[in-house]
Amino acid sequence: LDIIAFFILVSSDWTFVALRNYGDKSKLGRFKNGIAAVIHRFLILKSPRWQRPHADDKHKVLAVPFLFRRWSGSVSGISWTGYWLKVPPSRVNEVKNGFHPAWQKAIHYLRIGRLIPRKAIAADNVTRFLHISKIIDDIRIQRSLSHQPLTKKLWQFIFHEIKRKSQYAEDPEAGVKRTVYSSSGDCTLHDLGTNGYHLIEIMKKISKNYVYFSINVTVPVWHLATELLYNTAEEVSNEQSQQTNNARQLSKILSDYMFYLLLLKPTMMNSSPSYTKHILRRTNSAADKLLEKNGIKSRPAKAACKKIMDGPVPESSDSALEDAIKLANGLQKLDEDKKWETVSRIWMEILSDGASHCTPMAHAQYVTNGGELITFAWLLMLHFHLVEPKD
Look at residue 169 in the predicted model and tell me its pLDDT.
77
pLDDT tens digits, residue range 215-227?
Answer: 888 999 999 999 9
pLDDT tens digits, residue range 111-145?
Answer: 544 444 445 445 555 555 555 666 777 777 888 88
- The average pLDDT across 217-238 equals 87
Look at residue 178 in the predicted model and tell me its pLDDT.
67
Look at residue 143 in the predicted model and tell me its pLDDT.
81
pLDDT reading at 109 higher than 90: no
What distance in Å separates the CA atoms of residue 354 and residue 373, rounded to the nearest whole number?
Answer: 11
What distance in Å separates the CA atoms of residue 68 and residue 44, rounded to the nearest whole number?
Answer: 9
The better pLDDT of the pair 44, 95 is held by 44
Look at residue 25 in the predicted model and tell me its pLDDT.
77
What distance in Å separates the CA atoms of residue 260 and residue 140, rounded to the nearest whole number?
Answer: 13
User: Do strands 50-51 and 74-78 pair parallel, antiparallel, or not at all (unpaired)?
Assistant: unpaired
pLDDT confidence tier of residue 339, bands split at 50, 70 and 90: very high
Most confident of 75-84, 219-228, 290-299: 219-228
Q: Within 13 A of 150's CA, how many CA atoms are on the CB side?
A: 21
What distance in Å separates the CA atoms of residue 86 and residue 69, rounded to the nearest whole number?
Answer: 32
- The average pLDDT across 263-279 equals 85
pLDDT confidence tier of residue 345, bands split at 50, 70 and 90: very high
Least confident of 106-110, 327-331, 340-344: 106-110
What distance in Å separates the CA atoms of residue 89 and residue 101, rounded to the nearest whole number?
Answer: 16
Instruction: State pTM to two decimals.
Output: 0.83
Percent of the chain with pLDDT over 90: 26
Least confident of 58-62, 132-136, 282-286: 132-136
pLDDT reading at 315 higher than 60: yes
- The average pLDDT across 289-301 equals 73
The better pLDDT of the pair 15, 57 is held by 15
b/e for 79-96, b at 16 or more Cβ within 10 A? bbbbbbbbbebeebbebb
Look at residue 177 in the predicted model and tell me its pLDDT.
62
Q: How far is CA 194 from CA 197, 331, 334, 348, in A?
A: 5, 13, 11, 21
Percent of the chain with pLDDT over 70: 81
Look at residue 99 in the predicted model and tell me its pLDDT.
46
What distance in Å separates the CA atoms of residue 89 and residue 148, rounded to the nearest whole number?
Answer: 10
Asked if 120 and 82 count as a contact pair (C-beta separation under 8 A), the reply is no
3-state SS, residue 114: helix
Residues forming beta bridges with residue 170, ordered by sequence position:
177
Q: Is 263 exposed, middle or buried (0-12, 13-18, 19+ CB in 10 A)?
A: buried
What distance in Å separates the CA atoms of residue 164 and residue 151, rounded to the nearest whole number?
Answer: 20
